[in-house]
Amino acid sequence: MKKLEFCKNTFEIDPHGILIWSKFNIAIVSDLHLEKGSSYAKYGQYLPPHDSLETLINLEKILLNYKIKKIILLGDTFHDKNALNRMNTQTLKKFKLLTNLYELIFIEGNHDKNVFYNIPSHKTILLNGIEFIHEATIDNRFQISGHYHPTLSIKINGKRVTEKCILQTESKLILPSFGKFTGGLTINNKIFKPYLKSDFNAYICSNKNVYKFSSSDLKTNVK
């Protein structure tokens, strides 16, 4: 299990892009975008309607590997304000099962800020010197966030792969998206430049393994 040190805390990285904070029995997950598939129907784009159920089943299976009591959801848990209303019976049942198994801490994202009229949620929370927020601010505050869905394209063992990744700077951890249909932005996208002005690490999460690369490793390898 790959570990990282951040703000005097130790986290384990699950290969699916989830942080495990064993000291507090907490899992940290970002950007599930539940019901993204069904949201496309109103635009005439019909995607398979089972993305939310698959996302929740995958999350449940992964968390059973750890001693987890709480889940911090870093925003965009739902794709839009009507996502819960569009969930079919099976998906809603699985979502409620998750809420019964764990204490869910919802951070509001830009997609789901109007969802939480009857669900307790937070703009940010502060734990052990770390601020949990959906979109990282450009400053020196220690933050764990999501929002940008970082990915990395790099050669591993002679083969170029593109996978989601966790970005680590001195004061930020930016997690990839977990949802089935979420996609991502490569870390050389201009949106990341304000965060990557000094040395950083990128942890590729390939579902089976985690690979760590420093910014010096990536200078000639990233596309």
CATH label of the domain that carries residue 160? 3.60.21
SS3 43: helix
Quick check: is 193 in a domain?
Answer: yes
* pLDDT category of residue 1 using cuts at 50, 70 and 90: confident
Ordered alpha helix ranges (H), the chain: 36-39, 51-63, 83-86, 89-101, 215-218
Give the chain's domain count: 1
Quick check: is 39 in a domain?
Answer: yes
Please return the burial class of 99, using the count of CB atoms within 10 Å of its CB with bins 0-12, 13-18 and 19+. exposed
- The DSSP annotation for 184-208 comes to -EETTSGGGGGG-SS--EEEEE-SS
Q: Using one digit for the tens of pLDDT, what is the confidence trace for 8-56?
A: 999 999 999 999 999 999 999 999 989 876 666 665 555 565 689 999 9
Quick check: is 223 in a domain?
Answer: no
Check whether 137 has a pLDDT greater than 60: yes
Domain with 186, as residue range(s), is 2-218
Quick check: is 126 in a domain?
Answer: yes
Quick check: is 88 in a domain?
Answer: yes
Quick check: is 188 in a domain?
Answer: yes
pLDDT of res. 177? 96
Check whether 63 has a pLDDT greater than 70: yes
* pLDDT category of residue 117 using cuts at 50, 70 and 90: low
pLDDT of res. 48? 60
Q: What is the pTM of this model?
A: 0.91
Q: Using one digit for the tens of pLDDT, what is the confidence trace for 144-196?
A: 999 999 999 887 778 888 899 999 999 999 999 998 767 789 999 999 999 99
Check whether 64 has a pLDDT greater than 80: yes
Q: Under a CB-based contact definition with an 8 Å cutoff, are residues 151 and 164 in contact?
A: yes
Say how far apart CA 95 and CA 166 lie, in whole Å.
Answer: 25
Share of the chain above pLDDT 90, in %: 67
Across 98-124, average pLDDT: 85
pLDDT of res. 13? 98
Closest to 178 (Cα-Cα) out of 63, 55, 61: 55
Paired tokens of 67 = 């001693």
Across 99-110, average pLDDT: 93
